[in-house]
Chain A
């Protein structure tokens, strides 16, 4: 809608104040463009595809050259240095190509390889360790940010666990294929009259393949089963391990005695199927988690410390000590709690207080970690670190709250708990029945009992949940909804109430102009405002649309802007800044944050702003209410603002001025009354409440700690993600229950067969594979219906869209 020129390098709008205009937004971008031209790499601009979700490629004003890269550098015997770096700013494959090419142009570099999935760079070079600064300089100059990391610390348990599962899967797959080949021959031979010696040879061969393979590939199950038994619990892995081990043991005994009942194929195929389920499950969640981690790493920034002698260095926020002086650049997130000693600026505190309009800060005021410095650089003296900061206070609250959630038992384990004893009892009863009543020799009775265990081994049961969950999380992942917790979807199906935070959750967190003003005044104000980063200025520019920024504007942080007009200075800012008397009110009674425009010789114009709801907030609330959810609005903002929004959206239950503790206590109190609530919030102040709610969601724009606390993180501007997540969770729940019903139905047919001693290896193999396939096919139905997404979330109400374009 705006035709403002876009920077040739970073594709961000160019303001008139730009020193490198009209093609570039800043001198950094101009330099980067020139450098690429010199190196003959300009084709990058043709190849790349900008991803709007990722930070624009604008070089940092202060080069991060002083960042200490050498600390995490390792050197091998041949004198080659290796370093792992996290790269921020990768938009597409062309970025990968550009980074690798830029680095490889340097003669010292031996290898530079970017992993596009994890956005990490592994760099190897020869020469001096400290050359690294010069080597990475061109990449930094392009606007990428490089953050050194220790791969050992980041190599999470999940990654190595998934690799182990994949190895087990490969081994089990190999063994299952070969054993099945031999078994089919044996079955065919049974009808065509295979000789006993050949059959025994095939059984021995099967044993040779299956036993070591099962010993290796079954490890994940055996470990989990032993862990569960140690804790005096029963999970799904206990009957699985027992079934597999007994089946193999009995088959071996049969083989030794040259008898026909060998179940090697059933045991190993069972492991193979189960490992597929486990691996897919782990991978889907791993993907969601790594996407969430990457979102967080974007915010993980080091802080700039100014030493007594004036030198600057970058350190990690947790290494700051009280008394240090920290520089917070404009637009940067403040990393520590401290007191401002120099500078005047606006601070966006919405993540902590929920207030959408920045507050003015000046020397002597306190600022908190997590807030964002908007308009001018600040020098801050660190007052609290570690456990004393506001942030760690909130983390403590959150951790306390999370302990309650850990008690939740997944449905699969609940089923296993009642299923396992029944199966074990049945098998025991079969043995006792055949031996004592049926009069069989104990070996044959034992064989029948073990057949019961094999046939009831919960293959389909154990696949029922993971397969559905994989498909559900995969579907949500494609819609930009990341499910982080294993039981989140199950918990989501239980909720009856939804608690929303205001700023940044129901609203966009960006103020919009709502008052009707004279178009000329608006245009002039927007021209002046185009020079500022203050959210109200940006709102003015958005409202005016296509404006050419006016030159000669100076900004007084926290107060306003002054432009040199033809007939004297034009002021844009707060009421006091523009020298307007308190009682000189204009015929506009809309409450809210405001800006005034004072032109010499003209009556002042007033602009009122409001933090507007997300585009689809209206329809989402409407849909949720129609479905009978009980909804509450909790905010740390002032009552007038909260009431205004609650009335707009038709929420009857709202609470304003809630502190983080209040919010958590409110959610806890409802939970104590047996209510299952979904908490949706984004601020640091919501984190404890997110942790103690039955289930929680957080937008991807949320504070780091809230994203950590939430079960589900959703990307994009649509609040409809809440409905989508609930829908998918319910559908998944239905499918899980159907799958359980199918498995039980299968057991109802096969258990009598097993108890009466009719199960042969062939029947066991057919029954097991077919039940697994049926369960998987049923789970795939979740996939098939995804072509018809929710038809309520996309509706944009006419009045809201008008407002956005006004």
Chain B
């Protein structure tokens, strides 16, 4: 029975951790824009940013 005294608090603690994480994500607005979040991962602006940066550098050189 003594293992229960250990396991139940652990289970509850883990559950509360999950609940806390969910409430935090809700508060920080992660559920506000589901559509945008799905699309945002597809923006690969690496190449654009690089092109822009090199242009800027050139401008500074001249």
- Residue ranges of A at the interface with B (Cβ–Cβ < 8 Å): 39-41, 43, 93, 96-97, 101, 105, 114-118, 163, 166-167, 170-171, 174, 177-178, 181, 198, 205, 209
Tell whether, in the assembled complex, residue B43 and residue A93 are in contact, meaning their CB atoms are under 8 Å apart: yes
Tell whether, in the assembled complex, residue A116 and residue B31 are in contact, meaning their CB atoms are under 8 Å apart: no
Tell whether, in the assembled complex, residue B36 and residue A117 are in contact, meaning their CB atoms are under 8 Å apart: yes
Instruction: Provide the main secondary structure of the chain A interface.
Output: helix
How many of chain B's residues have a CB under 8 angstroms from any CB in A? 27
In the assembled complex, the Cα of A177 lies from the Cα of B19 at a distance in Å of 12
Tell whether, in the assembled complex, residue A116 and residue B8 are in contact, meaning their CB atoms are under 8 Å apart: no
Given the known interface contacts A40-B55, A166-B26, the answer about A171 and B36 at a Cβ–Cβ threshold of 8 Å is no
Residue of B nearest to A170 (CB): B22
In the assembled complex, the Cα of A205 lies from the Cα of B15 at a distance in Å of 14
Which residues of A are found within 8 Å of B33, using beta-carbon distances? 115-118
A351 to chain B, nearest CB (A): 31
Which residues of A are found within 8 Å of B34, using beta-carbon distances? 117
B1: contacting residue among A43, A105, A117, A198, CB under 8 A: A198
Which residues of A are found within 8 Å of B48, using beta-carbon distances? 40-41, 43, 101
Tell whether, in the assembled complex, residue B12 and residue A116 are in contact, meaning their CB atoms are under 8 Å apart: no
* B61 interface residue (CB < 8 Å to A): no
In the assembled complex, the Cα of A97 lies from the Cα of B41 at a distance in Å of 11
Tell whether, in the assembled complex, residue B51 and residue A116 are in contact, meaning their CB atoms are under 8 Å apart: no
In the assembled complex, the Cα of A105 lies from the Cα of B53 at a distance in Å of 10
* B11 interface residue (CB < 8 Å to A): yes
| A and B contact pairs by CB, cutoff 8 A, 16 listed | A39-B52, A40-B48, A40-B52, A93-B40, A101-B45, A101-B48, A115-B32, A116-B33, A117-B33, A118-B32, A163-B26, A170-B19, A171-B19, A174-B16, A174-B18, A198-B1
Tell whether, in the assembled complex, residue B15 and residue A116 are in contact, meaning their CB atoms are under 8 Å apart: no
Which residues of B are found within 8 Å of A118, using beta-carbon distances? 32-33
A715 to chain B, nearest CB (A): 17
Q: What per-residue 1/0 map shows which CB atoms of B1-37 lie under 8 Å from chain A?
A: 1001000100110011011001100100001111110
Which residues of B are found within 8 Å of A167, using beta-carbon distances? 23, 26
Tell whether, in the assembled complex, residue A209 and residue B40 are in contact, meaning their CB atoms are under 8 Å apart: no
In the assembled complex, the Cα of A170 lies from the Cα of B22 at a distance in Å of 8
Which residues of B are found within 8 Å of A41, using beta-carbon distances? 48
Which residues of B are found within 8 Å of A177, using beta-carbon distances? 15
B39 to chain A, nearest CB (A): 3
A610 to chain B, nearest CB (A): 41
In the assembled complex, the Cα of A465 lies from the Cα of B14 at a distance in Å of 35
The 10 lowest CB-CB distance pairs between A and B, nearest first, are A116-B36, A93-B39, A115-B33, A174-B19, A40-B51, A116-B35, A97-B43, A117-B35, A117-B33, A170-B22
Which residues of B are found within 8 Å of A171, using beta-carbon distances? 19
Which residues of B are found within 8 Å of A43, using beta-carbon distances? 48
Tell whether, in the assembled complex, residue B15 and residue A174 are in contact, meaning their CB atoms are under 8 Å apart: yes
Given the known interface contacts A170-B23, A174-B18, the answer about A93 and B31 at a Cβ–Cβ threshold of 8 Å is no
Which residues of A are found within 8 Å of B57, using beta-carbon distances? none
B8: contacting residue among A93, A115, A205, CB under 8 A: A205
Apart from A166-B31, A177-B15: 13 A-B pairs, beta carbons within 8 A: A40-B51, A93-B43, A101-B48, A115-B32, A116-B35, A117-B32, A117-B33, A118-B32, A163-B26, A167-B23, A167-B26, A181-B11, A209-B12
A44 to chain B, nearest CB (A): 10
A51 to chain B, nearest CB (A): 13
Residue of B nearest to A93 (CB): B39
A36 to chain B, nearest CB (A): 11
